[in-house]
Chains A and B, each alone.
Chain A
Amino acid sequence: MSSNREIFLDGLRLNNTGPMALFGVCPLLAVTSSLITGLALGLATTIALVFSNFTVSVVRGRLRPEIRIPAYALIIAAVVTVIQLLMQTWFFDLYQVLGIFVPLIVTNCAIMGRAETFAVRNSPLPSMLDGFATGLGFCLVLVLLGTTRELLGKGTLFSHGELIFGAPGNAWQLAVLPDHYGFSLALLPPGAFMCLGFLMAGRNWLDSCRAGGERPGQAVRLRQHVPLESS
């Protein structure tokens, strides 16, 4: 079994689900139009991953292969519903903004992916760590997306900080670019896909640099042979 440090670093880089699992964020793309909403959805996804991994790991001894997938579905849906209820209780304004996108966390295939590839084979603590790290990786992607889109689209950062951090967050909004700046493409769904595309290209480029001077184009071509979902 891999060490805690490896579990954490692999999860953070979203390595263990394969780079294509980045597609797991697709249902959440529409709402990551600002740093704060990206961060909120990222944190909610992380919590969902930690608790679904934990639960699956605890009951893993009783899960026969035939019932594994429906059991994951039940557990993940329950965890996400609890998060939804708690968010309505403590972060009501945030829930008003995120709305339907909170239940959509269920459709993030990486959550079921982690249950099947990690939690069902490991004890509870490493499973929670794996969920936490993978969630943090997603959080990072969503925050990067939100930051890029908010900066390009509205020229601000940290707008609506009060949704997560309460009244003090109200004053955090930074007007990075001058007043009345707006580039709405970045805020629209196509802008989300373009930003995600550039992020993935950037990641591939970084990977290929690390692999030792390969041409970036080569790395992209190699990746096409990776199956869509490794789990």
Chain B
Amino acid sequence: MSGESCGLLHAARDDDRVFDRVDYEGPVARWCSGCGDHSVLSAAQRLLAEKQLAPENTVFVSGIGCSSRFPHYMKTYGFHGIHGRALTIATGVKLTRPELDVFVVMGDGDCISIGAGHWVHAVRYNVDMVALLLDNEIYGLTKKQTSPTTPQGYKSNTQPRGSYLPAMNPLEATLGITNASFVAQTAEWIPAHLFATLKAAYEHSGFAFVRILQRCPHFTADIFGEAAKQPDRVEILEGPGGIRVEALDAIYKNKVEHDSSDLAHARALAQDMTAIRLGIFFEDESRPRYEETRSIPQHSAHEKMELLEKEFERYAV
């Protein structure tokens, strides 16, 4: 951000408060037991504690859906908005208050379906925030309807003979958007990887898009529920610009060498949906950030009125 219009990003606080994870914990979450949302909530609270973010300067914005209850369970500022539009609200927050840390939490219906237009443009705007796609490949809150990421043939209440079309590939789509600057995938059932990915996303300057593969114990338990028990199905991206979680080496042995600055390779890796590939697919901090494309001057009320008087001269009779 330009220093002229706002404070420095992630500026150190000038008080001596020390935050613990519990300082970010709101009321007990009302998600189902076994829901992946719990894991993401914990990782986010751990991240905030690690980064010592002041709760009052942190905003979680969400849309509508199971995962969009997320802000209610944080003890920060939160905005539980409307279905599909979280990114627009977050953009408004960040354009006016760039010094705030903004996290957006969306489900697959929220982000990929009803809010798809905003997702595409938010990626292009590249406004500095963390966007989490909590993807359980089904509509949960409304009780098991097909989502754009539901696997082809998977039965739901709206497509009882099975989803008609191949599932949308959010990673491939995001990597295809002009000006994408950070695209990663992780899984809620691997907390260490989830945390490391969220941390990298937070540290990224620009729009950090993280797809989190997630179990829904009620409606898609047989999708990621099974995968969670089979570490062999997971491939971890490693290499320059990637994240490295040594503790996972013993369990997750499949590694894919990948340089996160290599967009073509990232797209190739993202294309294959049969593999569960986790890691940073792409990162480029040099991409222009929308909020930095202009320098907005600061004027006092009196200065503005003086300028306005001059403007009126052009219209004077």
A associates with B: no
